Chains A and B, each alone.
Chain A
Amino acid sequence: MNVYFDNAATTPLDQDVLLAMMPYLTEKFGNPSAIHAKGRETRAAIEKARKTIATLLNASPGEIFFTSGGTEANNTAIRSAVKASGIKHIITSPIEHHCVLHTAEELEKSGAVRVHLLGVDTKGRINTAQLRQLLSTLAEPALVSLMHANNEIGTMIDIGEIAAICAEFGALFHCDTVQTMAHYRFDLKKTPVHFISGAAHKFNGPKGVGFIYIHHSLTIPPLIYGGAQERNMRAGTENLYGVVGLAAAMERAYKHLDSEAIYINDLKNYMEQKLLNTFEGICIQGDPSRSLYTVLNVGFPLNDKTSMLLFNLDMNNICASSGSACSSGSSKGSHVLEAIHLPADKVAVRFSFDHNNTRDEVDYVIEKLKTWVPAISVSAV
């Protein structure tokens, strides 16, 4: 059996989404900026995709800008906000994705801003009192950048609560929603957030395409210059088939959102319960009361056999990860697990699911884990 439990890294492209993309990989190839019929037909496809996404988010099409992915979207939000809005402070947390953290650090290094990291507890929860306190003392404009759900441990913020605090103090609010886009519903007319981001490949869409929502009250400079595309906000010939696939994947996900959320959440709970009932010394990372339903981060007791757990899972055709794929080239451990003080005697594995996963797969993984992880002794039960 092959088991893919690394859907937070990337998801398989849905077949129907691919079908929607196919015309744009074949006969409909015109440059959307061209004035002839081949260009007009693809321009229409791009604008339809924009409208689809705007409608699903209850935003205006003018607030949606296509990018090459989540990293570019988050970079655009932060870098452009700093450039345009006279931002002098970035308030963020130590468990953000590197595309937020490194970008904030770069801006601090260049002298443009000061970065303030909020405290997080062992469940990865942000200290909102500290956020409030910080905002009340800062005299200069601030940008708050907090992720909706953590990609490694799944802890979520209350986006409405943070938005309200930011609004109270007049701060800009960027919410990295790459892990939650198309997995949760957003009503952007009611949520006072200034930037949110999406990457198609995190919800069964294609790689190489994403978007940024920018609240209509903001005018910000482009991150990439050189053409009139995306209303001068993002130059470069559009990734046409990608944009079409992004919208198709959003539509697909929204159509099944409620049932798939329940299904995946059940699957996650099933695995969590089974792990806790089967093995000794398991701890689950994150905040059980507010957790991304696609991510289950499990701490296994460290021993000779579990120290090579990911490798051994791989040998048994099980795909899981230790954390963010983006940093897997680096020799450093996870900055998220470090920030939540994962005990040194645990080995963390992130299992992340999508609607294609099954209980059979979970059972298979549990069976295999028995090879390396000590089971609960009968007397302990």
Chain B
Amino acid sequence: MDKPLTKNIDMSRPPLEIAQYQAAGGYESIRKIAAGLAPADVLQQVKDSGLKGRGGAGFPTGLKWSFVPMGDNAPREKYLVVNADEMEPGTFKDRLLMEGDPHLLIEGMIIAAYTIQASKAYIFLRGEYIRAEHALKKAIAEARAEGLLGSNILNTGYSLEIVLHTSAGRYICGEETALLNALEGKRANPRAKPPFPQVSGLWGKPTIVNNVETLCNLPGIISHGVTWYQGLGKGVDHGTKLFGVSGRVRSPGCWELPFGTTIREVIEEHAGGMQDGYQLKAFLPGGGSTDFLLPEHLDLALDYDVIGKAGSRLATGTMILLDDRTCPVGMVGNLMRFFSHESCGFCTPCRDGLPWIEQIFVDLEEGRGSEKDIGILEDHLGYLGPGRTFCALAPGAMAPLGSALRHFRQEFEDHLSSKGCPYTRH
């Protein structure tokens, strides 16, 4: 099976240097472009490939790019920004790519920037990803020395500079417009949409913000073609995806698998199944801001629509497993504390709603909860729901909360009747 994203990754050794990377077929896509692919051609291929954004929303990448104004009347300055601020709870897939094969990201960036004709690209990197920072810095320098970055790349007349920016932190910087504000040196509050970044983004100029994994898909598409790419998947969506598992499994980790792989296969074959003495109770299929799914969903295929129809989201594709000996209320409370703390403080429901929720969980845990509190939690589901808040942070937080209240109502009640958490810590 082809693994275009991770074929060069071997975490037991340093990532490939540029010579080895090229020897393994790296930067072939750039040479193909230099040989005569116009931006519009690249755009068409990406559109045809059916590539969807891997940051969580699953928006078609080619469509996103097509909103960027092109041609002579388009603004001269445009930007590509890589969202490498991977902070979704339970998510560690971009880290693998950047630490394991930094040149793949750079190659993808050149393709994307060339397509929208951006002359500058920024990597907005999570501050704690120090190994990724070192790897990327080295790779950028190598690519520049090789003439793959800088002015007049491979005599195409096209020039590109990459700036690596390490974030000062905060989950909200993963929201693409908050990321842009942070990059401009402003408070990391999200921006109103519309206008979308494709029209008015970084420094007010047309900007594409793409996730690391999304960009890493591009070299394969351009080098090997759309047909090859579409042949990778087993299900509805095309290509491969990094899927991760955390929780009480035998070997938690992250693997590149085709779309359409079943959840059961990921958990049982790749993650080695549950540890002894633990049963799977439920799981968040795509990181901390997705709805719980139950063991009955294990045979679903990992495709955006399939998971969507089951009432959750594929999102980042990194699952967090809840076992039968861990308190679901405690798990959700932990997530609520995270989301509450990471609210930027701009809009009212998120800023003032999440801390209340967080406090209710503390009270439930410490035996001070009441039936009224559960009502207040339910009240907040709608109040912090999609369309009510300024960005998707609070609705994301409501996904695990709402599904937990549906699936684990008894556990919530138990916290009231037993004046605290009935689970024993272990």
Whether A associates with B in a native complex is: no
